[in-house]
């Protein structure tokens, strides 16, 4: 039986070239969601670009299986179609 991939919601930060700090919240694999860990090869699902340099500031919440997150990620499209005028 294949092992289910579990994900945890994390707060991430990254130093920018202009001296600022970029922040985001993302679901990442539970085994790499360790506060203080520097991530390499984080894929931006919107653009498909691979980025490095994001640091895990915190990881919290109940771990969720990948299949559940993928299903929920598409829920907003149904809600938007029903609510947009």
Give dist(CA 21, CA 55) in Å, integer: 11
Looking at residue 41, its pLDDT comes to: 83
C-alpha to C-alpha distance for 85 and 63, rounded to whole angstroms: 36
Q: Residue 59 has what pLDDT? A: 95
Q: Is residue 1 part of a domain?
A: no
Q: Is the pLDDT of residue 1 over 70?
A: no
pLDDT per position as a tens digit, 2-46 = 568 899 999 999 999 999 999 999 999 999 999 999 998 888 777
Domain presence at residue 47:
yes
Which pLDDT score is estimated for 38?
95
SS3 69: helix
Residue-wise pLDDT for 35-82, tens only, equals: 999 998 888 777 888 888 999 999 998 999 988 888 777 666 666 666
Range of the domain at 56: 6-83
**What is the count of structural domains for the chain?**
1
Q: Are 2 and 66 in contact (CB under 8 A)?
A: no
Q: Are 56 and 36 in contact (CB under 8 A)?
A: yes
């Amino acid at each position: 039986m294949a092992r289910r991939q579990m994900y945890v919601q994390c707060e991430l930060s990254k130093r920018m070239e202009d001296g600022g700090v970029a922040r985001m919240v993302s679901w990442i694999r539970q085994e790499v969601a360790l506060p203080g860990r520097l991530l390499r090869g984080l894929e931006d699902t919107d653009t498909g670009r691979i980025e490095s340099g994001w640091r895990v500031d915190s990881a919290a919440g109940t771990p969720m299986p990948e299949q559940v997150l993928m299903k929920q990620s598409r829920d907003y499209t149904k809600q938007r179609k029903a609510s947009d005028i």
